[in-house]
């Protein structure tokens, strides 16, 4: 009983085992020890029921109901879409083997242990272990584009004992058990084993990722397969990789919470002060119990403490509107609706790949305008990730490929044949007349050896990979395994790594053509002759070893290991070959910005291979610590290598990378490049892309071996930065030195980094990238960071940064799926930050400040009114006005402003990155700005209340019948002035006017008048009391009231206008200067009064009024931009709702 209670509370989870056992076809043991899985079916549950409600005090039912309803509708709609998507997936038809036959059922009914049949082009409904396919070797091809974006075909294989079970009848006789790890989210990691019982004997076979078919992947090139379900429903790897709503919080949200606390303090202070003043006032008997309001006996005998608390709470309820309850729902709507503009922006659309920008979370829109550090990957982010084979080094001789011919270093294609010799392709090497002794100065024996070296080098390149052949060539091969009459021109290769594809294609162009592979063989054509190699083992690539290898049996019977990888992981393990020459060549390749790989081999004796085969089998069948055991065996195998040479492929820069990085630097953003490439390659690319420039002083922190050495080097760098009078410094750090620097010298390292304009970190592991970003985030300045990357190795830094940007590139979709925003090219980052980020920040900053301002205007007169009603908690406004003020009368203008406002032309924002500095450090939500808006609200509230009081409070001739205004008329007058002033104030803040702005701004004021006339002009039968009956009509019938309204509105706004004009005259910001330049150069009518400098106030007001009444609209604006303007000269932004030239917005 106690265990059950602990399990229900989550203290004692029922399943503590690291592994699980699956009985194929659900043939459970008879001893009753089987424990069912947590999720018994294959149902996917992505919907949720949650309503986020504000934490401010609840004082009015309808505003609260409005806030909850809007939030519930938004989240309910998203939940409904998820629910429909779930039903579509869960209800998909599948065929399951049960009772010796195929049974059609729904996907959600699949149970762990069921044998499922999947046909060609169908999607796997659960995580399956492959049992058999229609191919004799039990292999199949799948594409995982929906999981990781990789479009290449991946080969999966079944164990030999089940591969022959190709019919339902045969599968029904299978008796086997699978033991595997518990579910985990890693798509590429799986460990298990299958225990098959045949003729009373148990056969154990290892299971790895090559046997696992993931839910969401699609079957290709295979008629049908059978697989056993091991993970279903929410335990599948796809479900475990579902991305929940980002928990990142923007700086604006943090500021907003701080302001709410301040206003909560103001609310409590006003309530306490009112309560104290009430009891102070009532200390006199005539006010405590006047003759017209005698207390009851119960009131006289009640506790004074309880009465004080009760009055305090009553004042809290009376003043609670100073806390803007609807602010949260308005901000949420603004973020949700505003995020669509990013996806609609045609300038962020990439036509070649047909990809538009994606928004995975709208909570961080304004954070795009606050970025201070950009951390970027190199490969696929700054570069195209389209590899082209350029050069190679074979046995110490450097070659380059020119027009499909392999040329030694030095000669050019137009050189005479008398002086130079070309290695046009390996097929030509068969004719030794192409290699004269004058070319290399050696004997024919050397020439034969040279051919063998080239042959072995490109055979290693053609065999050591995981490349697949396209569907067109592999369909119908059937008996094969492969057709031997295919030529390289007919083959189309698919690879998860673009490097591998480039190398295999280069080898095919030069005469050694990879034809295809099956589970046990790999075929290549060498000089037109087909050779078949038996594939014995694949030593998979991993980021720790930084190399991969294959063990094959040559046609002659020799067992050979071919290995390739980074020079730092291959060269130290070599004992033969031209190691030093190759090292020099690799460094030269890297200086050109080329990506390098070293190629080596090792030949095994029969005894050596027997030991290797046994150790590999033991490691691959281990259930515990399999990865560690495999790594140990790989280290044992990959030693004593003979170096063959090195390859160099080019990954060219993306379009406008240099301009984008320069623009980021002009905007005051520091750019760090974090890459796994070697030092020379990374520095070369940094120079070519403008991250480093030639005049920059490059400092290096590399090859540090100890903490003391690293600390001394950091101190020397700090001194150099202080002593050198160079404007800009750049820093290069490698992974090992960074580990030492972060271990004990974080502060010193950060001091050096902060004084550098650009930092390059090379040889970085994925977790190191995240650690660097974390270090910057927690620094004393607490800057806003942005990380951008395109591969799975960038996910950790994307999730660590304040804002994560995924590039939808060629290394899969993991970065894009785990990012906050996804774009197709690095160059789009400039518009995303300088235009969208700038606009989003200005809009939401104004929204937050304006909400607090209008609520101060709203509730302060209520507080002042208590001084004239003996703090009796009498309301100044009618209850309907209290309810509708934030819902109807003042909500739409600020919402539309926060969606459409463009205080400056988007083209100017992008062509002048320095304007980005004007909004840095959250300046529009600083304490100074907050106090200005708050004091502005208090001053306007005082004018509303005391202006009404002194102008009309004691006038007895307001109405024609001599009747005086009552308290409801007085409150309505204050409320009318307030509604007009608050809406016109929003109009003054608006720079970009559309018909929607006009409709909601002036429509809100008109709606207030129309509503008040109907509300106060009719006796509504469903209202118990109607204090406002005929009040508004009487108010509007008074000329004095109209004069007072106009006078108070003008007085409130005039002071604000004067302040803005003088600020722009005396202390204009760069943005305001740009507005002025835009206005003077091409805009015939101005956006607002604040755009005018150098004119009289009257002229400015006149132009502002001209704009307000609609005589100036965006359609009248004509701007011209030269074709030489940087970035987007033909701007097709969807931001502008008005009709303009294509070059305008």
Active site residues: 377
CA-wise closest residue to 211 among 256, 247, 251, 176: 176
What is each CA distance from 1022 to 1018, 1019, 1026, in whole angstroms?
11, 9, 10
Tell me which residue of 906, 918, 915, 916 sits closest to 1119, measured CA to CA.
906
Q: At 552, is the secondary structure helix, strand, or coil? A: strand
Question: How far, in Å, CA of 26 to CA of 170, rounded?
Answer: 16
Measured CA to CA, the distance from residue 1134 to residue 1136 in angstroms comes to 5
DSSP secondary structure, 1057-1103, as one string: HHHHHHHHHHS--HHHHHHHHHHHHT-SS-SSGGG--SS-HHHHHHH
Q: Is residue 631 classed as helix, strand or coil in its secondary structure?
A: helix
Q: How far apart are CA 150 and CA 169, in angstroms?
A: 36
For residue 470, the number of C-alpha atoms closer than 13 Å in the C-beta half-sphere is 9
Between the alpha carbon of residue 14 and those of residues 143, 147, 567, 754, 981, the distances in Å are 36, 31, 48, 50, 64
Q: List the structure tokens of 757.
A: 């304009």
- In 10 A of CB 492, how many CB atoms? 13
- Taking the C-alpha atoms of residue 669 and residue 177, their distance in angstroms, rounded to an integer, is 57
- What is the Cα–Cα distance from 476 to 480, expressed in whole angstroms? 9
- For 1012, the token pair is 């008040």
Spatial distance between the Cα atoms of 185 and 1077, rounded to a whole number of angstroms: 54
At residue 574, the 3 state secondary structure works out as strand
HSE (CB half, 13 Å, CA atoms) of 887? 16
Element (H, E) at 198: strand 192-198
Q: Give the whole-angstrom CA distance, residue 566 versus residue 765.
A: 14
Q: Do 747 and 525 contact (CB within 8 A), yes or no? A: no
Secondary structure element (H or E) that encloses residue 615, with its range: helix 606-620
- For residue 838, give every residue at least 6 positions away whose Cβ sits within 8 Å of its Cβ, in sequence order, or none: 369, 909, 915, 916, 919
Strand order in the sheet with 154-157: 154-157, 139-143, 218-220
CB neighbours of residue 442 within 10 Å:
12
């Amino acid at each position: 009983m106690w265990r059950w209670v602990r399990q229900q509370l989550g203290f004692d989870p029922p399943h503590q085992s690291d592994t699980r056992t699956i009985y194929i076809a659900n043939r459970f043991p008879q001893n009753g020890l089987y424990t069912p899985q947590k999720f018994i079916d294959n149902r996917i549950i992505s919907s949720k029921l949650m309503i986020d409600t504000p934490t401010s005090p609840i004082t009015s039912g309808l505003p609260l109901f409005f806030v909850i309803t809007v939030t519930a509708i938004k989240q309910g709609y998203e939940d409904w879409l998820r629910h429909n998507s779930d039903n579509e997936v869960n209800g998909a038809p599948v065929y399951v083997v049960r009772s010796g036959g195929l049974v059609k059922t729904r996907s959600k009914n699949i149970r762990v242990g069921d044998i499922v049949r999947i046909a060609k082009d169908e999607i796997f409904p659960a995580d399956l272990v492959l049992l058999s396919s229609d191919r004799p070797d039990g292999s199949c091809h799948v594409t995982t584009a929906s999981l990781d974006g990789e479009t290449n075909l991946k080969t999966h294989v079944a164990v030999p004992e089940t591969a022959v079970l190709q019919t339902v009848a045969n599968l029904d006789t299978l008796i086997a058990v699978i033991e595997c790890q518990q579910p985990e989210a890693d798509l590429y990691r799986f460990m298990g084993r299958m225990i098959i019982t045949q003729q009373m004997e148990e056969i154990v076979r290892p299971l790895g990722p090559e046997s696992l078919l993931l839910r969401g992947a699609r079957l290709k090139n295979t008629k049908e397969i059978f697989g056993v379900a091991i993970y279903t429903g929410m335990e599948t790897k796809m479900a475990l990789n579902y991305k929940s709503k980002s928990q990142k919080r923007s700086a604006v949200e943090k500021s907003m919470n701080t302001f709410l606390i301040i206003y909560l303090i103001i609310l409590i202070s006003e309530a306490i002060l009112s309560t104290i003043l009430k009891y102070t006032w009532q200390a006199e008997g005539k006010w405590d119990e006047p003759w017209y309001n005698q207390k009851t006996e119960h009131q006289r005998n009640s506790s004074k403490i309880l009465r004080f608390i009760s009055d305090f709470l009553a004042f809290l309820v009376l003043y609670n509107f100073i806390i803007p309850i609807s602010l949260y729902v308005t901000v949420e709507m603004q973020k949700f609706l505003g995020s669509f503009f990013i996806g609609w922006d045609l300038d962020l659309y990439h036509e070649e790949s047909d990809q538009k920008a994606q928004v995975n979370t709208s909570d961080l829109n304004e954070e795009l305008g606050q970025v201070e550090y950009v951390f970027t990957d190199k490969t696929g982010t700054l570069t195209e990730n389209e590899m082209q084979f350029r050069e190679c080094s074979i046995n110490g001789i450097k070659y380059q490929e020119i027009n499909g011919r392999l040329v030694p270093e030095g000669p050019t294609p137009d050189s005479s044949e008398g002086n130079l010799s070309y290695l046009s392709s390996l097929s030509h090497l068969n004719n030794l007349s192409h290699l004269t002794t004058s070319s290399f100065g050696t004997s024919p024996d050397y020439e034969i050896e040279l051919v063998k070296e080239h042959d072995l080098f490109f055979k290693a390149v053609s065999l050591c990979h995981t490349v697949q052949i396209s569907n067109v060539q592999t369909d119908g091969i059937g008996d094969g395994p492969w057709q031997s009459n295919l030529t390289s021109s007919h083959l189309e290769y698919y690879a998860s790594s673009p490097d591998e594809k480039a190398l295999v294609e280069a080898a095919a162009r030069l005469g050694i053509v990879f034809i295809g592979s099956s589970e046990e063989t790999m075929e290549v054509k060498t000089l037109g002759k087909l050779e078949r190699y038996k594939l014995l083992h694949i030593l998979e690539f991993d980021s720790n070893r930084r190399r991969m290898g294959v063990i094959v049996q040559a046609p002659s019977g020799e067992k050979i290991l071919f290995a390739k990888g980074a020079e730092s992981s291959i060269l130290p393990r070599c004992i033969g070959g031209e190691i030093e020459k190759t090292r020099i060549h690799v460094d030269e390749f890297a200086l050109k910005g080329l990506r390098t790989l070293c190629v080596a081999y090792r030949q095994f004796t029969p005894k050596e291979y027997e030991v290797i085969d046994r150790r590999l089998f033991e490691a691959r069948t281990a259930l515990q610590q399999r990865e560690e055991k495999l790594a140990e065996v790989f280290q044992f195998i990959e030693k004593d290598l003979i170096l063959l040479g090195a390859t160099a492929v080019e990954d060219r820069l993306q379009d406008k990378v240099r301009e984008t990085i320069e623009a980021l630097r002009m905007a005051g953003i520091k750019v760090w490049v974090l890459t796994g490439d070697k030092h020379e390659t990374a520095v070369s690319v940094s120079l070519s892309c403008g991250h480093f420039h030639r005049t920059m002083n490059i400092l290096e922190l590399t090859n540090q071996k100890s903490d003391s050495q690293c600390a001394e080097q950091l101190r020397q760098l700090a001194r150099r930065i202080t002593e050198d009078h160079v404007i800009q410094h750049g820093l290069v750090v490698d992974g090992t030195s960074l580990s030492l620097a972060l271990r004990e010298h974080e502060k010193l390292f950060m001091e050096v980094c902060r004084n550098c304009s650009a930092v390059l970190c090379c040889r970085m592991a994925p977790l190191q990238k995240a650690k660097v970003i974390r270090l910057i985030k927690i620094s004393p300045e607490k800057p806003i960071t942005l990380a951008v990357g395109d591969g799975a190795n960038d996910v950790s830094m994307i999730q660590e940064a304040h804002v994560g940007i995924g590039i939808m590139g060629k290394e899969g979709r993991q970065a894009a799926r785990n990012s906050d925003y996804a774009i197709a090219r690095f160059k789009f980052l400039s518009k995303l930050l300088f235009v969208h980020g700038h606009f989003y920040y200005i809009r939401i900053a104004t929204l937050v400040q304006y909400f607090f301002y209008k609520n101060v205007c709203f509730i302060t007169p209520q507080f002042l009114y208590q001084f004239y009603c003996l703090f009796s908690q009498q309301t100044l406004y009618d209850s309907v006005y209290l309810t509708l003020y934030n819902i109807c009368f003042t909500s739409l203008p600020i919402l539309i402003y926060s969606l459409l406002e463009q205080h400056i032309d988007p083209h100017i924002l992008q062509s002048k990155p320095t304007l980005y500095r004007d909004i840095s450090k959250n300046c529009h939500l600083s304490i100074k700005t907050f106090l200005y808006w708050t004091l502005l609200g208090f001053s306007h509230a005082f004018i509303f209340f005391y202006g009404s009081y002194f102008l009309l409070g004691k006038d007895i001739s307001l109405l024609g019948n001599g009747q005086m205004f009552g308290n409801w008329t007085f409150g309505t007058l204050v409320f009318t002035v307030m509604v007009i002033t608050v809406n016109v104030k929003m109009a003054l803040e608006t720079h970009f006017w559309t018909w929607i702005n006009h409709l909601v701004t002036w429509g809100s004021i008109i709606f207030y008048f129309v509503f008040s006339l109907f509300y106060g002009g009719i006796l509504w039968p469903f209202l118990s009391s109607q204090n406002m009956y005929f009040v508004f009509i009487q108010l509007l019938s008074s000329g004095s009231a109209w004069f007072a309204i106009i006078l108070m509105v003008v007085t409130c706004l005039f002071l604000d206008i004067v302040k803005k004009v003088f600020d722009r005259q005396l202390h204009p910001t760069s943005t305001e200067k740009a507005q002025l330049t835009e206005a003077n150069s091409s805009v015939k009518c101005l956006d607002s009064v604040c755009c005018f400098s150098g004119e009289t106030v009257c002229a400015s007001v006149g132009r502002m009024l001209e704009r307000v009444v609609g005589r100036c609209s965006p359609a009248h604006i004509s701007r011209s931009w030269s074709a030489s303007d940087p970035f987007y000269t033909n701007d097709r932004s969807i931001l502008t709702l008005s009709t303009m030239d294509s070059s305008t917005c």
